[in-house]
Chains A and B, each alone.
Chain A
């Protein structure tokens, strides 16, 4: 049985934040779950995926976050407890349905998880999604610890049903990817079949209906404010005259700092766990006893601005600071030492910063950037495109996936990136705005996610664009999650449909479509050359399973290669930057434990010096 289905309340378990969130949902009786995978949220959905295979929990990998939110919203409108899971930028994709779902509301509890990523460990921006609360009018709640992450999911479902509105659960990477001991609670039975009651005058958002629903939403925000005012999520600690307001993971750093600085008698801490709507009366009350207030929050000055506004309403002139010179920055994530130092500084406490080892005289440590795996087919495709486009002035818009790593030299095959699916739209724009040949790259999962509308646009507006679809059969970067083109039988799962990218592209009416096997270097170059020469929209589908995925399924069959004596040290093979290569005593070598036998380097070598490690047996 999946460990998160353990029905033993009171038992202690070591859980990753994301597992704790999934467990919280199970304890709350969640019945319907959906996602588009995205770090740092991915393990929540992985847990749901696994549990759905051995219980009546419904889970789906949806095409994108918008769809994930919509399927969950429908389920919640049939009375089921549902949850849509995504990373912070995923909520941008889902923002359209979310804004109006706030008008329509839900019948069963619905929780939307947004996993924010301060410092951008694995994201393209570090936007602060608490603002989605203000924008949509929905309640936002935030945990400060792994245990609380579990508890808050349960709480979020309760609030959601009370308000008949979805609730946004906002976490940050340091909650999602922290591990701690969690005490399990009882599991509420799941209700897995819902009922839809027709009620078009409240559920079909034509203007006349929406005008009414907006009034309802405003009333709901007031109700939520009342809940927030008395919510156990807003915690007051201490009664000193120095006020600290904090949220999320910052609460942990503040607690440690207060202990380390030994100022617990001097401070009062307000931990905001219900961050939209903010508990105004509470905050005003809190401020009354303060001489000075510091707001400790990662990201934007979301609470700081609110706290200042509450003080103003009350005619309270207490000094309130958060972001600014010498204090906190909206940039990146915080750490315990930083918070301790800023608290000491702001409240004028003598403090000696721990002295780190002086590393000024240490030798430079060579970089170890993540690279495409040895044998990754993206490398082969990049090489072929580079060769096919030799002598042509190009722009390479790229997209989000492992292949984005192609930005690094020596591949250097990425010129522009905004968000999921942007390679098709921006590619079209570049082709109209310049005379350059535009070749865009997009992965299979990203293509399904949001690449298709840009491609349709390019056909309609007659852009001169070559789109290379890197079809490796799986969503590789986030840990090999399925997508609509994945072969689910490889996972021994049945009952799924499967879309063929070639059919999709041809069905859209792309005038030039070609398919390549990227490990066949010369043939691929030829085919790409033709696609690049084509005026208008051309699509190259590069098909080869993600080698890491193939390995995990026991399907990788390649045998390692070696560099033979014929090598004349041109080092052409190194231009593809395969991590299986190394230089030893001035000569190029291949690490047989890393080589997957894709043989791309063997086809590049002008001396034919790269050969299979073991000579092929004669077929006897």
Chain B
């Protein structure tokens, strides 16, 4: 079985680890070998959270520079920061709704221009799927569902060996009951958003 390496980057609090957990549980359900890793030092305090999900016959749980098959970013500047993980074939899926780093908020840094950012990623990688996942999450019922929107987009691309059914089963059984309807809707909306791009 081929190996598919997915790296997910987000800002603390965006639900990155839940997204990778859903992928992991779905892989277990589908009987696909999986290795995951996470670095969430001080995630609660607004830092960057990075997780990796590796499908298939590999033993490593982390991804070296230039070796990601998919980069999924929950926040556009974080997607850009992780671009060194990509190569010319990497599929990049990114939310376009910025979460301003505090440094920018107080005028100590410049947030990258979103159009330039997209042009750059499009030029250098295999494919870019960029959309405002935050708006879609709101439409689904909660801004917290950005993670599910992006999962929907990822599954739509068929780059990972999981079906929408696998993932939906897990969303239903493993995410909080109170949110599972919103999560499912967010997943569906993300799926169709990616299909339109």
Across the interface, which residues of B come within 8 angstroms of A618, CB to CB?
none
Across the interface, which residues of B come within 8 angstroms of A581, CB to CB?
102, 105-106
User: Knowing A363-B116, A366-B110 touch, does A335 contact B101 (C-beta < 8 A)?
Assistant: no
Residue of B nearest to A121 (CB): B41
Q: Is B113's CB within 8 Å of the partner chain A? A: yes
Is A355 a contact of B66 with CB atoms below 8 Å?
A: yes
Q: How many residues of chain B get a CB closer than 8 Å to chain A's CBs?
A: 64
Across the interface, which residues of A come within 8 angstroms of B34, CB to CB?
14, 180-181
Across the interface, which residues of A come within 8 angstroms of B48, CB to CB?
368
Please report which residues of chain B, range 30-81, place their CB below 8 angstroms from some CB of chain A when the two chains form the complex: 33-42, 44-48, 57-67, 77-78, 80-81
B61 partner, pick from A180, A338, A574, A583, beta carbons under 8 A: A180
Q: Is A577's CB within 8 Å of the partner chain B? A: yes
Q: Is B142's CB within 8 Å of the partner chain A? A: no
A587 to B86, CA, bound (A): 38
Q: Is B83's CB within 8 Å of the partner chain A? A: yes
Is B100 a contact of A582 with CB atoms below 8 Å?
A: yes
A579 to B100, CA, bound (A): 10
User: Knowing A14-B28, A357-B86, A579-B46 touch, does A122 contact B41 (C-beta < 8 A)?
Assistant: yes
A402 partner, pick from B45, B90, B104, beta carbons under 8 A: B45
Is A256 a contact of B21 with CB atoms below 8 Å?
A: no
Min CB distance, A551 to chain B, in Å? Answer: 10
Is A577 a contact of B58 with CB atoms below 8 Å?
A: no
Across the interface, which residues of B come within 8 angstroms of A582, CB to CB?
100, 105-106
Min CB distance, A545 to chain B, in Å? Answer: 15
Is B44 a contact of A548 with CB atoms below 8 Å?
A: yes
User: Knowing A180-B61, A363-B117, A368-B101 touch, does A477 contact B111 (C-beta < 8 A)?
Assistant: no
Q: Is A174's CB within 8 Å of the partner chain B? A: yes
Is B124 a contact of A357 with CB atoms below 8 Å?
A: yes
The interface bits of chain B over 79-118 (1 if a CB of A lies within 8 angstroms of the residue's CB, else 0) are 0110111111010000000001111111111111100110
* Chain A to chain B: the 7 pairs with minimum beta-carbon distance, closest first: A337-B64, A356-B66, A366-B109, A370-B47, A370-B42, A252-B59, A582-B105
Is B45 a contact of A370 with CB atoms below 8 Å?
A: yes
Q: List 18 A-B pairs, Cβ < 8 Å.
A: A122-B42, A177-B38, A253-B59, A335-B62, A337-B64, A337-B67, A354-B66, A354-B87, A359-B83, A359-B84, A362-B120, A363-B112, A363-B116, A363-B117, A366-B101, A366-B108, A368-B46, A582-B100
Across the interface, which residues of A come within 8 angstroms of B45, CB to CB?
370-373, 402, 405
Across the interface, which residues of B come within 8 angstroms of A361, CB to CB?
120
Q: Give me the interface of A with B, judged by CB distance under 8 Å.
A: 12-14, 39, 121-122, 145, 173-174, 177-181, 251-253, 255-256, 259, 335-338, 353-359, 361-373, 402, 405, 477, 548, 574, 577, 579, 581-583
Min CB distance, A616 to chain B, in Å? Answer: 28
Across the interface, which residues of B come within 8 angstroms of A179, CB to CB?
20-21, 24, 35-38, 61
Min CB distance, B38 to chain A, in Å? Answer: 5
Min CB distance, A368 to chain B, in Å? Answer: 4
A275 to B48, CA, bound (A): 34
Which of B12, B27, B37 counts the most chain A CB atoms within 10 A?
A: B37
Q: Is B151's CB within 8 Å of the partner chain A? A: no
Across the interface, which residues of A come within 8 angstroms of B44, CB to CB?
373, 548
Min CB distance, B99 to chain A, in Å? Answer: 9
Is B101 a contact of A367 with CB atoms below 8 Å?
A: yes
